[in-house]
Structure 1
Amino acid sequence: MTPQLDHIVLGCARLDRGADALRDRLGVTLPDGGQHPAMSTHNRLTRLGEAAYFELIAVDPEAPDPGRPRWFSLDDPGTQARLAARPRALCWVVAVDDLEAVVARSPVDLGEVLSLSRGDLTWRLTVPRDGHLPEGGLLPAFIEWPGGRSPASRLPDQGLNLTAIHLRHPAPEGFGQTLEALGLLPLVQLHSGPRALSFEIESPTGPVTLD
């Protein structure tokens, strides 16, 4: 299976306020998703084009301590400071059919492979043990859906389409080799500059950049 974009991840300090801020920018209200008991987070989800989706995620204030660092760097003080201002792009997630093979050939440590579930959905995801984002989110997390059962097709189509993923890296040639080794170059636009991740989205309000 050629790596395919599965979803993009934006984080926020509080899920309800983050959804309100994105509604003002995108012109849509993100539907409720659910809770992640293993990580003590919760989210909202909507479709992003034909086969991908958009995830807004936050620490669940009503959940107990997960007993481990949360994913997507949500426990990191730097991430928390960024999210205090507004929803921010955290990461992108790529679907593959053999996570172990991807982890084995990656020139960068992608973390452990966790088996997770919610309701009737099950998935496997690369998550660093300390919760950090490889390359600050410029490298994706990798996901495997047993039986190919991604939730994208069951999510509402609210007119959001991803038009580009922009990665900025201070050493784009070397980083580009990492992306190439993982089969990711066709999915992104790579630029030179301080590390930064942004998503270009066509929405009912027009083109929007989320960073």
Structure 2
Amino acid sequence: MAEIDHIVIGCATLEQGARYVEELLGVKPVKGGQHTGLGTHNMLLGLGSGCYLEIIAADPDQPEPAQPRLFDLDEAGMKTMLEAEPRLVAYVASTPALDAVVARLGPSHSGEIRAMTRGNFAWRMAFPPQRTDMDNLIPPLIQWDSDKVHKHVKDSGWRLAALEAEHPETQALHTALAARGLGDVVKIRQSPHSRLIAHLRHKDGREATLTSA
């Protein structure tokens, strides 16, 4: 069974993303670090013991990576949108059996497993190939190989209350999520356009919404 590991906000620069999150949620994200070789760096905001919010941007201190940056950050349309304003771009689901899930789905659906590190943290991820990820509504799968980063991010008081996905092909999306153990985790709605929506709720009752469009 998979579960939501973190949600991802893309931005043109980390400074821009940090301001956006602080203005929206009233909490400063903390420094994450570099994804060496991937051309990105991040900041984090704790959403409780099992989930966090990641703010990610191209890292100007790294050379251009050999492969496109994660979460479509190099695509022209995405870059234009993020220059205007940070936005929710994706979510990531964790599984304790990454190899088994990828073997069952096949690399054409799940993507190849890639080993990644940031500082003392290590993990492996499988990204659905672009064009089959239904506009980032099918999440990458992650399995932590070492201590989870969640334990080291200060709790912000915010929680991920619900995650929704809108897409023209609801049955195909439901089938893909169910195959990853996420059939009951994400609420799916029919819409002519793709959109990811994250509803956050603070322990004091405040609510906020993040969207990809």
Is the TM value for this pair above 0.5? yes
Question: Which sits farther off after the overlay, 162-171 or 90-99?
Answer: 90-99
Residue 124 (1) aligns with residue 120 (2): no
TM-aligned CA deviation for residue 104 of structure 1: 2.6
Quick one: which amino acid aligns to residue 189 of structure 1?
K
Q: Which residues of 2 match residues 102-117 of structure 1 at below 5 A?
A: 102-106=101-105, 109-117=109-117
Q: Which residues of 2 match residues 126-145 of structure 1 at below 5 A?
A: 126-127=126-127, 134-145=133-144
In the superposition, relative to structure 1, how do residues 201 and 43 fare at CA in structure 2: closer, same or farther (>3 Å)? Answer: same
1:111-159 Cα deviation digits (max 9, x unpaired) = 2211111222110011357x77821110011001125x21101110111
Partner of 2:14: 15
Distance 2:89 2:132 in 1: 8
TM-aligned CA deviation for residue 205 of structure 1: 8.2
1:34 match: secondary structure = strand
Partner of 2:169: 171
- Choose the corresponding residue for 2:152, options 133, 154, 171: 154
In the superposition, relative to structure 1, how do residues 27 and 43 fare at CA in structure 2: closer, same or farther (>3 Å)? Answer: same
Q: Which residues of 2 match residues 43-122 of structure 1 at below 5 A?
A: 43-106=42-105, 109-122=109-122
Partner of 2:207: 207
TM-aligned CA deviation for residue 105 of structure 1: 2.6
TM-score, normalised by the number of residues in structure 1: 0.92
Contact kept, 8 Å, 1:73 with 1:132, in 2: the verdict is: no
Gaps of 5+ in 2: none
TM-score, normalised by the number of residues in structure 2: 0.91
1:79-135 Cα deviation digits (max 9, x unpaired) = 112211211111111111222222233376232211111222110011357x77821
TM-aligned CA deviation for residue 165 of structure 1: 0.5
Partner of 2:194: 195
Question: Which sits farther off after the overlay, 196-205 or 25-34?
Answer: 196-205
Contact kept, 8 Å, 1:198 with 1:210, in 2: the verdict is: yes
Quick one: which amino acid aligns to residue 10 of structure 1?
I
